[in-house]
Amino acid sequence: MSKMYYRELYCGTPARYWSGLALLGVIIAIGLGAAYYMEHNGHWVTGMSNQIVWGLPHVFAIFLIVAASGALNVASIGSVFGGPLYKPLGRYSGLLAIGLLAGGLMVLVLDLGRPDRLIVAMTEYNFKSIFAWNVILYTGFFAIVGIYLWTMIDRSVNKYNRTVGFAAFFWRIALTTGTGSIFGFLVAREAYDAAIMAPMFVIMSFSYGLAFFIITLIAAYIWGDRELGDFRLTKLKNLLGVFVGAVFYFTLAYNLTNLYITQHHGIERFILLDGGVYTQMFWIGQIFIGSIIPLFLIYSPAFEKSRWAIAAASVAVLIGGFFQIYVIVIGGQAYPMNLFPGKEVVESGFYDGQVMSYVPTLPEAALGVAGIAVALTMVAVGARVFKVFPETLED
């Protein structure tokens, strides 16, 4: 095999690079402004309430954090499982993972009621809390993936690459397990109390992370006028197909278990049949856009070599994934908690027994989108400063 040369990414002309970066900067600035507005006025200016306490920013944050772990897949396959085709892409995989996690965490932190107390969150730990564990898992992820990147880029420490690669692999599995367990531990709510949540989040991360990876890889090679071979892309595409199928399988298993358990029929009915917008998001967003369309684009012989189809499939996976998390996070809260089994709530001073509505507001969306912009900015700057992308990836 010929030797790989890595080079900093110059996106055609400097103007092209800097204007791209400026655009991202504007998006981030708008997001920060939105966060300030929400913080300054208090959360009543958002769509969140005392019934729906986690809103659109959480959907973005969880989506990005889950994707971050998955983005590291390619590096893991390359150095842990020894896939030579994936190895040259390992550096970019690490960079993207760090970027996505940073974006997700920014959104999460800026949506806290007291973001100014971040230092409390970093110094006071309740070790029974999955959230506290996640703080450690997230910060650890930055450190481990940072070192991992170092072992990939610096030849003098390259001998540690495999060991660090293993550590990073286990760490990220723990990270997504932790993220899924945020929900899996909530016994009070019918939608969440399920052990399957953790593995489901792990597999979701594989799928979303790879989709992000493929899209941004194609974009970077177009921008940088570099060669990206079909063979490698087809491999990635096939892998994505497997992950999308696996997410579909877990969705099926999750819903079937709930259907088996009589007490959970209420929430199932709500999501699958009469939950209004959540039902639509489930069928149209999660199932049709997120599973069926990408599987068709990936496996249909008509699109065998089509780069367009690969990109479209990845975008569909991301859109579907976003809806999936929306349905889990918001749909799960909108469905009323069953406090009084066997009784019907005739009157309540606090919306007992009622499906709650949640309408996200513009500032929440702006903050969420800024999280994606943070991820892309880190990638753009990282790829420009470090030797991340191979000169060419022709077959």
Partner 1 sequence: MSNKCDQPNMDRRKMIGGAIAATGAMTIAPGVILHAASVSDEASSGADAKHRWGMLIDSNKCADGCSACVDACNTEHGLKGHGRPATDAVWIRPVKLKDKQTGRENRLVMMCQHCEHPPCVDVCPTNASFKRVDGIVLVDRHRCIGCRYCMMACPYKARSFIHEALTEQSVNAPRGKGCVESCTLCVHRVDDGVMQTACQEACAEEGHAAILFGDLNDPNSEISKTLKSTNSVQIRADLELNTGVRYLNL
Using CB under 8 A as the criterion, which residues of the chain lie in contact with partner 1 when the complex forms? 39, 41-44, 48-51, 53-54, 112-115, 117-118, 120-121, 124-133, 135-137, 140, 170-171, 174, 177-178, 181-182, 184-189, 193, 195, 198, 261, 263-264, 333, 337, 339-352, 356
Between residues 170 and 231, which has the closer beta carbon with respect to partner 1?
Answer: 170
Residue 110 Cβ vs partner 1, minimum distance, rounded to whole Å? 11
Between residues 1 and 346, which has the closer beta carbon with respect to partner 1?
Answer: 346
Residue 371 Cβ vs partner 1, minimum distance, rounded to whole Å? 17
Between residues 43 and 387, which has the closer beta carbon with respect to partner 1?
Answer: 43
Strand partners, 7: 389
Between residues 127 and 301, which has the closer beta carbon with respect to partner 1?
Answer: 127
Asked if 57 contacts 367 with a C-beta cutoff of 8 angstroms, the reply is yes
Between residues 49 and 392, which has the closer beta carbon with respect to partner 1?
Answer: 49
Residue 171 Cβ vs partner 1, minimum distance, rounded to whole Å? 7
Residues 6+ positions from 28 with CB-CB distance below 8 Å = 370, 373, 374, 377
Residues 6+ positions from 43 with CB-CB distance below 8 Å = 113
Between residues 67 and 267, which has the closer beta carbon with respect to partner 1?
Answer: 267
Asked if 226 contacts 391 with a C-beta cutoff of 8 angstroms, the reply is yes
Asked if 369 contacts 31 with a C-beta cutoff of 8 angstroms, the reply is yes
> Angle of helix 197-223 relative to helix 230-260, nearest 10 degrees?
160
Residues 6+ positions from 95 with CB-CB distance below 8 Å = 149, 378, 379, 382, 383, 386, 388
Asked if 299 contacts 17 with a C-beta cutoff of 8 angstroms, the reply is no
Q: Copy the structure tokens of residue 394.
A: 């022709």
Nearest to 195, CA basis, from 179, 208, 183: 183
